[in-house]
Amino acid sequence: MQLRISHTTRYNYDQPVVYALQKVRLRPVDDPMQTVVDWRVEIAGGTCETSYRDHYGNHVDLVSTTPGEAELSITASGTVDTQDTAGILGKRYGRAPLWHFKQATDLTAAGERVAALAETTREKRDTLQALHDVSADILRAAPYGFGKTDANSTAEDALALAQGVCQDHTHIMLAVARTIGLPARYVSGYLMMNDRVDQDASHAWTEVHVPDLGWVGFDVSNGVSPDERYVRLAVGRDARDAAPISGLRVGNADETLIVSLQVQQ
């Protein structure tokens, strides 16, 4: 499947910015699930200072805001050929070792609720089926919904609130997989919806390293493994590592964020 994507992130400030630096992870890379046909990142109100591959293999652009500007716009767009591999990325490894993805973070630390989900998973002999089962268990325990969690909510927070979005579902799945001893990582990317072109935000899902198979994806929010409708952008131990854009700002300006995203064939 060939997917066309246009993703604009616009920051508006109520006064000129003294200094701002954004770490931009908006360039997909080729892998067994996707081939980048063409891609570009355009910046208005700022400059790309440098580009590099981080220790996870993500392509990162460091973008600084032009001093005195009150608006920064970053647009990523292009075409990606995708294929359905039943969610299996396989045995592809970078500089970050597998044990690194067994480490909990503040957002994925396991508490009593995660431990209870992990306990039912440990009892099953088929690891792959157990992971599909716990994915369904997570969605039942914390149905998809906006308003209760935020960007700083942990896996345990979402389970306690019994609601979450894709970021929360991914953090819970990460916590469960690591609790049972499996390396797991957060994936940020795009999902083509069947019923719409315009979307509110990018998507997120989990990849777990399964013995004999390598990395396998699980989209808890939609109850499936990623197929040809998905495009991978970045990976990390949690949402902070793999965020499409993250950064810092110097000064007292208040910020308004506007996101425009279209994903279509």
pLDDT truncated to tens, each residue of the chain (265 aa)?
Answer: 999 999 999 999 888 888 889 999 999 999 999 999 999 999 999 999 999 999 999 999 999 999 888 899 999 999 999 999 999 999 999 899 999 999 999 999 999 999 999 998 777 778 999 999 999 999 999 999 988 999 999 999 999 999 999 999 999 999 999 999 999 999 999 999 988 888 888 999 999 999 999 999 999 999 999 999 999 999 999 999 999 999 887 877 788 889 999 999 9
CB half-sphere exposure, 176, CA atoms < 13 A: 31
Q: How many CB atoms lie within 10 A of CB 129?
A: 11
Tell me what pLDDT residue 196 has. 81
Tell me what pLDDT residue 148 has. 92
Tell me what pLDDT residue 67 has. 87
How many angstroms separate the Cα of 260 from the Cα of each of 59, 75, 132?
Answer: 21, 9, 32
Tell me what pLDDT residue 38 has. 97
Question: CA-CA distance, 80 to 191, in Å (whole number)?
Answer: 12
Question: CA-CA distance, 171 to 176, in Å (whole number)?
Answer: 9
Domain with CATH 2.60.40.2250 in the chain: 2-82+245-264
Structure-block tokens of residue 228: 């040809």
Tell me what pLDDT residue 124 has. 75
What's the topology of domain 88-242? C8orf32 fold (3.10.620)
Domain 2-82+245-264 has CATH 2.60.40.2250: yes
Tell me what pLDDT residue 118 has. 93
Query: Is the CB of residue 24 less than 8 Å from the CB of residue 245?
Result: yes
Domain with CATH 3.10.620.30 in the chain: 88-242
